[in-house]
Structure 1
Amino acid sequence: MELEAQQPRHADRHRCVAAGVKPAPTVNPILPLLPPRRLHCTGGDVLIALTCLAIALITVGHRNWPRRAFRSVAAVTVVLGVGYTIFSEWLNIVVRQSWAYSERMPVVPVIDTGVTPLLQWLVVPLVALWLAHRTAQRDPVIPAAS
């Protein structure tokens, strides 16, 4: 029954092409260069980073961040990101065995985590947080409304 429901759409698509009507795109028109799997992984990385930053801001942040408590927020964010990365790599490679590193991927021996994921969680957050701190230092302080 479900197969019959799909056949007319398939036939309509062929009729549209035969009539010279351009069918709906089958790729993501917004991000055509990013395959769905990479988009999924990038979105996951963004959510992990935002979660780590939120936890850091809640636990050690200051209301005038990034002008104040910058180092402590940056440290907690990076430690949480690296910790999650090590856990996630272990879970997906050792426990679930859902994928494996290429033989070309250098691995940190003690933790068996790839160098690239670790560097990603060290470099990208630190650069982003540094840029936020630098921008905040240059911008004038806007007083809070009374």
Structure 2
Amino acid sequence: MKSIYFLGCTIGDVVLTFIIYGLVAVVLKHRYWIRSFNFRSFVIVLLMAGLFAFVAEWVAIELNFWSYNEKMLIVPVLEVGLSPFLAIVVNPILSFIITHKIISTRDTR
């Protein structure tokens, strides 16, 4: 049964990554912003991912989807778990950086 739970979390992370991509596209007014991934788009992704990470963790805790044990490191001020917070922030950023590198390499051929 745990594998279904982890599958759901993984699908949720993928959906959040797509949502973040779409919102960055709206903010930058450029559907293919990933082609020119730069510091500005990085900061926008970082801010959006951080906001989504906080809200997702806060909602999950408030709705008792899960709880933290005494070993979980907590992000000060935000009061959410460090590892789930970082996962939601780092995964989209890495995905976008890798995608940008692949696109850039392909375009130079």
1:137 shift after superposition: 2.0
Q: Considering only aligned residues, what root-mean-square deviation do their CA atoms show, in Å?
A: 2.5
State the TM-score, normalized to the length of structure 1.
Answer: 0.62
* Cα deviation code 1:32-57 (max 9, x no counterpart): xx711111111111111111111101
Separation of aligned partners in 1, 2:58 and 2:31: 36
Separation of aligned partners in 1, 2:30 and 2:96: 15
CA contact (8 A) 2:37 2:97 kept: no
1:97 equivalent to 2:67? Answer no
Higher helix share: 2
> Matched residues, percent identical?
24
1:127 shift after superposition: 1.7
1:44 equivalent to 2:12? Answer yes
State the TM-score, normalized to the length of structure 2.
Answer: 0.80
Structure with max Cα Rg: 1
Larger RCO (CA under 8 A, 6+ residues apart): 2
5+ residue gaps, structure 2, are none
Separation of aligned partners in 2, 1:61 and 1:73: 11
2:107 is paired with a residue whose SS is coil
Question: 2:104 is matched with which residue: 125, 128, 137?
Answer: 137
Separation of aligned partners in 2, 1:117 and 1:139: 33
